[in-house]
Structure 1
Amino acid sequence: MARTPNKPLVWLRGEVKTPPFSAEARVEAGFLLRRLQKGESLGLPHSRPMPSVGPQCHELRVNDENQTWRIVYHVDTDAVVILDVFSKKIATPNEVLTNCRRRLAAYIRVASGGERKRK
């Protein structure tokens, strides 16, 4: 039986590093992202759908010592696209949602070949 190759991570914004993530939170984020790369669908409590950003968009939840991190991602057919990484206190800020929508639209445009080189 052939093994499905892992989907690459495409980082459009943000990173997972220590600091500001604790070492434990960084390991948890890496573990969850690896599962996504292998094609697993994550559900609550680790991930929740974010249809307000776009199709196949989700919010990964990573608990840290004093805060909760969010990683907004899009599952494409051949990649896991990271749209943003931020610390969340109450609700996802509208500015984050708007920026994620904009990044996703730009990614889809480029991935579909819609962006041409200018002469």
Structure 2
Amino acid sequence: MSVPKPIEFRGSALDDLRAFPLAARREAGHQIDRVQHGQEPDDWKPMATVGQGVKEIRIRDAAGAFRVIYVAKFADAVYVLHCFKKKTEKTSKADLDLAAKRYRDLVKELAQ
């Protein structure tokens, strides 16, 4: 078994995740743990519009649909860019823009 990659939450992502209902929070934790160990989440899709290598974990429970946007392609850590509850079928531009900004800031930081 490989050593799990550390998790780094960007911006308000950790607080946003903590605001999820308990069941969704537990599921998000389980899926992030899979990513830390080099596995794919159970339900995910690529988010190329946010940045190269960015993926979205999809969580459904009785309280609604929740998303965790992350990037795991960097060697040092899994970066959680954004966590939110989906309110409409299409992911809002504000959520995508926020994740994209955090991704750009991360890439700049890592390049220094």
Shorter chain as denominator, the TM-score bin is 0.7 to 0.9
Counterpart residue identity of residue 55, structure 2 = H
User: In structure 2, what is the equivalent of residue 42 of structure 1?
Assistant: 41
Highest RCO, 1 vs 2 (Cα 8 Å, sep ≥ 6): 2
Query: TM-score, normalised on structure 2?
Result: 0.85
Structure 2: which amino acid aligns with 1:102?
A: K
Residue aligned with 1:55, SS: coil
Superposed CA RMSD in Å reads: 1.5
2:51 counterpart (42, 54, 73): 54
The Cα shift of 1:5 comes to: 1.8
Q: What is the total number of aligned residue pairs between the two structures?
A: 107
Preserved CA contact (<8 Å) 1:22 1:65: no
Any unmatched runs of 5+ in structure 1?
Answer: 114-119
Partners in 1 of 2:111 and 2:41 — Cα distance?
26
**Which of the two has greater helix per residue?**
2
User: How far is 1:112 from its partner?
Assistant: 1.9
2:82 counterpart of 1:84: yes
Q: CA deviation at 1:67?
A: 0.9
Structure 2: runs of 5+ lacking an equivalent:
none
- CA drift of 1:34 comes to 0.2
Shift of 1:22: 2.5
- Matches of 1:73 and 1:31, distance apart in 2: 14
Counterpart CA distance in 2 for 1:22 and 1:97 is: 22
Query: Matched residues, percent identical?
Result: 27
State the TM-score, normalized to the length of structure 1.
0.81
Amino acid at match of 2:32: L
